[in-house]
Amino acid sequence: MTKSIDRIRLFALNNLAIEAAVQLVERERDIDLGHRPTEAGGMDETYYPQFEEKIRREASDMAVHYRVFYCLENSMRSLITSIMLECHGAEWWSKAPQSVRENVERIRLKEIEHGVATRSDEPLDYTSFGELGEIIKQNWNDFADVFQNRKALERVIATLNVLRGPIAHCKPLAEDEVVRLHLSVRDWFRSMGS
């Protein structure tokens, strides 16, 4: 069963790497091989066409990296929730580092004060990627059966957190960093013994 899951994960990651390589060829040669979604794909047509073509192309290229991070970050939240619930019950949030809990409360209050829809009732949904790593580190004994080595996990999370910056702040990833992103996601699964 585990080997099948490993193969599926590697298949998905390889497909993402191939998609990134195709996007690179398109960008370098200024061609469209037809694999991108149409620009109208759910975008607000009132404003989207008004953005420069270069920016729209970068957005399309970066979408694949955003999807990788979206999946990774939310799967981390699921993993943390399930392990912490199992180990500490419904009140597990009190085991998160105090600085993380305080930051979550600041963000929740800010959303309430701005009158926007709150993103979730779950405090973990307000954490950053780096804060997820801090929760794991502070509760290492609860996660030691899942991850092979604490130092290796810390290195992987640190690398992924740096790579997340351009993705989260709408800047293109350099070619080398695309490769590093895919390798780091593989390292994440490897750190779990997967």
Give the residue with greater pLDDT, 12 vs 59.
Answer: 59
- pLDDT tens digits, one per residue of 22-55: 776 676 677 766 655 544 455 566 667 788 888 8
Q: What is the pTM of this model?
A: 0.76
What is the radius of gyration, based on Cα positions, of the chain? 19
pLDDT at 193: 76
Amino acid in position 19: E
Mean pLDDT of the chain: 86
Place of tokens 């307000």: 126
pLDDT at 39: 46
Amino acid in position 59: A
pLDDT at 14: 64
Lowest mean pLDDT: which of 30-44, 82-96, 99-113, 147-161?
30-44
Alpha helices in the chain (DSSP H): 2-29, 53-88, 98-113, 129-138, 140-143, 150-168, 175-191
Backbone angles phi, psi at 61, to 5 degrees: -65, -40
Say which DSSP state 149 is in: -
pLDDT at 53: 86
Report d(CA 19, CA 36) in Å as an integer. 10
